[in-house]
Structure formats: structure tokens, C-alpha cells
Amino acid sequence: MAKSIDVSDLNIYYGDFLAVQGVNMTIKARSVTAFIGPSGCGKSTFLRSLNRMHEVIPGARVEGKVVVDGQSLYDPSIDPVAVRRQIGMVFQRPNPFPTMSIYDNVLAGNRLNSRRMKKAEADGIVEKSLKGANLWNEVKDRLNKPGMGLSGGQQQRLCIARAIAVEPQVLLMDEPCSALDPISTSAIEDLIHELKSDYTIVIVTHNMQQAARVSDETGFFNLKATGEPGQLVEFNPTKKVFSNPDESATEAYISGRFG
């Protein structure tokens, strides 16, 4: 079920403003791809264009191609809702649905088709997803309690469980640990390692150590210049990016001499 993503000549606009320009890359299936770069360089915008979530913002649009498993995401015949069912997303701040229990939060995506599920089937999905998100042992005795009652790290793992409950092809993570403490962060990073065997994972992070720890390949985004659109500066295996990058700008950024 994990799929690779081919991006070619992608330009992303907010209205007339060109936010990201000319991105080409191939994201491999069953691997973790990390995007790093300074704030405002378009990493999150690019990530959100991979499941057409950026369209939620009025005026946002793209030019170019994003192809998942031979299917162009921006083909006029493709429904963005269908895209998002295939490509899940985890956000910067944990966002479980406040009125739902842990159990209902996990099943929220599965229930969207208004499909009736048997109780046993639903129980199975909840257990499998929560185990997949390494949360089962912590919450199995209080599945009917509200999801908001969990700690921040638990809430984020609940959101991951909710995303994988619908068995997507790709999992996008937008700085999933930036609101979490180090222990929760470590729990999520372990989880990313495990999820990689089943899913194609794309993660945006401000934490370069995290990119180095969890990812197989790394893309470095930067603004061309102040006021210019963001662009993909370098896209290489993570080991190479952090030891011997092709671009001097990449080295400057990861070594902290950012200019």
C-alpha cells in the first residue's frame, strides 16, 4: 500500500504570490523523507500540496505535477477529498477532536464514508491503530474517555493512530514533535521508524538532529533571496546531506552558519 511520489516542476501560489518554485523530487516508497530549512521557506506549503491540503486556504493553487503511483493528484478528474483519504496528515499541534472519545477519534476517518461498521471490526481497527501508534498500552483501559484528556505526546500519537486507521498510502507529518517534550519526541521518532516498513513517510522538521535520526533522504529548502520564492536547494540521502552536501548553502545551514 505504500506508494512513491514523483514531483515535477511544481510551483505553488497563494493568489498571485509564488511561494515555492520549481520543485522536482522523487519520494521513495517505504522510507522516511525529511524536509529541513528556515521558517517561511515553503517546506510546510510544499508538504501540504502533496495531499492538496493547501487548497483549504482561499486562493492557493499549484502548477506542475505530483504523481502518486502513476496517478496525477492535480488531474481535473481527481477529487481532493479522495486524495486526502489516501494521503494522511499529522499536524504541528496535536488536534484530536475535542468532543470525541479516544475510541471515536481513532475511528473518525473510517466513519467518514458513513459506512456502518460491525462492533468487532471497529474494535479491531482501534486496537490495531493504537498499537501501531504505540499508544495501546497507555489507553486501553480508558478508550471511552475524551481524547483531550491525554498528554500532548499521547494526543499526537492519537492523531497518528487516527491517520493510520484509514490505512493511507502516504503519511505526511508537519513538524509533529515541535509542540512536544523530549520524551514524547523520542516516542514519536521510534514510532516513525516502525511505521516506515508500511508507509511512505514525509516529515517536515526544524530539528536537524531529528532529520538526521529518522530520515533516509533529506530535502533542504531555502528562499532564493529575501522576497523571492522558496526552492528546493538539495535533495539527497540523509547521510550525504549531513556529511558531505553538494551545495555550500546546505552545509552552511546544517552547521549553523546560516546566511
Partner 1 sequence: MSTTIDEARGAGRRPGDAIFKGTAVGAALVILLALAGVAVFLLYEGVPGILGAREETGSSFVAYVWPLVYGTLVAAVIALVIATPLAFAMALVISHYAPKRLAKPLGYIVDLLAAVPSVVYGVWGITVLGPQLVPMYRWLAETVPWIPFFAGPASTTGRTIFTAGVVLAIMVLPIVTAICREIFAQTPTLHQEAALALGATRWEMIRMTVFPYARSGMISAVMLGLGRALGETMAVALVLSASGVITLNFISNTNPSTIAANIALRFPEATGLAVNILIASGLVLFAITFAVNFAARAIAGRSARRMSR
Q: Rounded to the nearest 10 degrees, how much is the dihedral formed by the CA atoms of 189, 167, 217, 81?
A: -120
The least distance separating partner 1 from the CB of residue 48, rounded to whole angstroms, comes to 9
Query: Scanning the structure block, which residue is given the C-alpha cell 511544481?
Result: 10
Q: What's the 3-state SS for 18-84?
A: EEEEEEEEEECCCCEEEEECCCCCCHHHHHHHCCCCHHHCCCEEEEEEEEECCEECCCCCCCHHHHH
User: Is position 179 an interface residue for partner 1 (rule: CB under 8 A)?
Assistant: no
Minimum CB–partner distance for residue 109 and partner 1 (Å): 4
- Give me the least distance between CB of 222 and partner 1, in Å please: 26
Closest by Cα among 51, 89, 75 to 166 = 89
CB of 110 to partner 1, least distance (A): 9
- In 3D space, the residue among 68, 6, 32, 26 whose CA is nearest the CA of residue 200 turns out to be 32
Closer CB to partner 1, residue 195 or residue 212? 195
One of 20, 47, 161, 163 touching partner 1 (CB under 8 A): 163
* Residue 82 interacting with partner 1 (CB under 8 A): yes
**Of residues 55-74, those binding partner 1 (CB under 8 A):** 56, 58
Subset of residues 89 to 128 that bind partner 1, contact rule: CB under 8 A: 89, 91, 93, 95-100, 108-109, 112
Strand duo 60-68 + 5-14: pairing: antiparallel
**Would you state the cell numbers that stand for residue 174, as one nine-digit string?**
508537519
Task: Please identify which residue in 10, 19, 53, 161 interacts with partner 1, judged by CB under 8 A.
Answer: 53
Beta carbons of 238 and 212 less than 8 angstroms apart? yes
Whose Cβ is closer to partner 1: residue 104's or residue 189's?
104
Q: Please report whether residue 81 would count as binding partner 1 according to CB under 8 A.
A: yes
Does residue 178 belong to the site contacting partner 1 (CB under 8 A)? no
Length of the chain equals 259
> What is the identity of the amino acid at 34?
A
Paired residues of 170 in beta bridges = 87, 200
- Identify which of residues 161 and 191 has a Cβ nearer to partner 1 in the complex: 161
- Name the minimum Å distance from CB 240 to partner 1: 32
Where do contacts with partner 1 occur on this chain (CB under 8 A)? 51, 53, 56, 58, 81-86, 88-89, 91, 93, 95-100, 108-109, 112, 146, 148-149, 159, 162-163, 166
